[in-house]
Chains A and B, each alone.
Chain A
Amino acid sequence: MPIRISDPADPRPGEITPRESWERLRERRALLGAAVGAALTPLVASAATPAAAATQAASGPADAKLDAKPSVLSTMERPTPREDVTGYNNFYEFGTDKSDPERYAKSLRVRPWTVAIEGEVAKPGRFDVDDLRRLAPLEERIYRLRCVEGWSMVIPWIGYSFSELMKRVEPTGAAKFVEFVTLADPKQMPGVRSMVLAWPYTEGLRIDEAAHPLTLLTFGLYGDVLPPQNGAPMRVVVPWKYGFKSAKSLVAIRFVERQPLTSWHRAAPNEYGFYANVNPEVDHPRWSQATERRIGEGGLFVRRQPTRMFNGYGEQVASLYAGMDLRREF
């Protein structure tokens, strides 16, 4: 009998999703699929009728369902309870407390919503977010999320690889980086009136990072469209980097030649680098990054767990950084 050496990437027994949650998810999808008459059609939109779609648009499609295929890129770890995913996060446009986004993002108008795709691309334009959502088959990707503050979650996102969008808009040879720009509307976002960061929130990736299949253009979570506090109607999710790299509520995606000046790097260049890859060996000046606290795993008496290089996605992404000194380019 071969000896099985435990791999840190293996889920602990408690982390495996209970069968009944999966069955419930499957059931829900099957029902939805039946309703639209195409259970396995990847591009099923959320609404059954145009009227329903209109109602959703008016009231904010907080409970609109999205159908998505499971993905091999998903982790087997147990997803963080939904109320923690939607009730505890950072979205500075709504305030710096982690309960602020849920409290203040409700009023965010997510339709109509257009996204400017510009810069070094053959087919730039201003696109309706619903058209973007229908651009490629949606997948459910259960990713780990590691916040630079030292906590983590497991979130079932819904979206497709950002590379699908790149295929459509055709970046030119001059496109070396991608810049993501978040909405900054002081009328809807109370936090934008504060001076905490330079608005609009700007993030960026190197073009090969953006093209990596793990980089997800994200429209939903937990089977539904994104709630406003999690970056509705469309955000990016880069699971091997600290959470702040994954810009929310995107209004522009720019393909550029020079490395963009990102909001957090501008605020504190010695604390937040451009790459911001999850790295347990490179501490934040104010705290260690060696361990993380998994949210929703019990009360006061649960230990922190070790943080993994590239948030556990090293096998897929480490080659992007071959030859780089990740201590210097943190």
Chain B
Amino acid sequence: MRSPRALRALVFALALVPLARFVVLGALDSLSANPVEFVQRSTGTWALAMLCITLAVTPLRRLFGWSWLMRLRRMLGLFAFFYACLHLLAYAWLDQWFDWNAIVDDVLERPFITVGVVAFVLLIPLAATSTNAMMRRLGRRWQELHRLVYAIAVLAVLHYWWHKAGKNDFSAPLAWALVVAGLLAVRLAWHWASPPARSRRSAQAARTMPGGARPAAAGGAPLRGPTLRQAPLERE
């Protein structure tokens, strides 16, 4: 991409479309017969969608060599956190009116809410360490910490799955489960196909080969870890 700034601005604007939609529909009094339920569910769906989009960055980069995607990953991840915050706020405010007794009961007694809250709590350190300064400070541990996102994705799907169990209709959560499973499966496949990069140097050497990042099948050593150009700002 020629102009990363323009691209980032465009993606930023697109990621705000769901929020804008709530505002417009709300102003038109068109948030369905049950506006609270609508906003609660839609923000949850968008949090999960943003999480999946964020998780798709690395596979897409490696499969198609779209290294420019890496520049968007932090922003996409933060949007996942943003919609998760709205989702939680919709529940705690619009649905429960900060009735803490009811909320605590829900969190302790209802597995689907427990799991959702755990997923949200785990997102907080990831959002908090998304700055360049934190990346630098944490060094290698940053990557280890941010592997939590895999657990968060699984918990988010479980949250949706158990929520839909009340309706006995798993078609939507099943679709999301397949997406998350696919995104995690490619990572596992890459992990098994090659031992973790012995050193950053060898990874960097591979990275400079023609064709950029490719899976093992396409020849060349598969890449893990950051590239010279992106490190440490866009570290994986």
Q: Is there an interface contact between A196 and B168, defined as CB atoms closer than 8 Å?
A: yes
Question: Could you say which of A42-50, A199-207, A211-219, A280-288 contacts chain B?
Answer: A280-288
Contacts of A285 in B (CB 8 A): 110
Complex alpha-carbon distance, A304 and B171, angstroms = 29
> What are the residues of chain A within 8 A of B32 when measuring CB–CB?
88, 99
Q: Determine the main DSSP class of B at the interface with A.
A: helix
Size category of the B interface is 20 to 34
| Nearest CB on B from A194, distance (A) | 8
- Majority SS at the chain A contact face: loop
Note all chain A residues with C-beta closer than 8 A to B94: 300-301
CA separation between A304 and B39, bound complex, in Å?
15
With the chains together, A294 CA to B143 CA distance in Å? Answer: 47
Chain B residue contacts of A293, Cβ below 8 A: 34, 36-37, 95
A294 to chain B minimum Cβ distance, whole angstroms, is 10
Q: Is B167 an interface residue when CB atoms closer than 8 A count as contact?
A: yes
Q: Per-position contact with A for B26-57: 1 when CB-CB < 8 Å, else 0?
A: 10010111111101000000000000000000
Partner of B106, one of A267, A268, A271, A288: A288
In the complex, what residues of A have CB within 8 A of residue B163's CB?
Answer: 286
Give bound CA distance, A73 to B110, whole Å. 37
Cα A88 to Cα B39 in complex, Å, equals 16
Q: Report Cα–Cα, A84/B32, bound state, in Å.
A: 9
Point out the residues of chain A lying under 8 angstroms from B95, CB to CB: 293, 304
Chain A nearest CB: distance from B178 CB in Å? 18
A196 to B168, CA, bound (A): 6
A273 at the interface (CB under 8 A from B): no
Tell me the minimal C-beta distance from B137 to chain A in angstroms.
40
Further 16 A-B residue pairs, CB within 8 A, beyond A88-B34, A288-B102 = A83-B33, A88-B32, A96-B167, A151-B34, A196-B167, A196-B169, A267-B168, A271-B166, A286-B110, A286-B112, A288-B105, A296-B33, A299-B29, A299-B31, A302-B36, A304-B95
* A interface residues, Cβ below 8 angstroms from B: 83-84, 87-88, 96, 98-99, 149, 151, 194, 196-197, 267-268, 271, 283-288, 290-291, 293, 295-296, 299-304
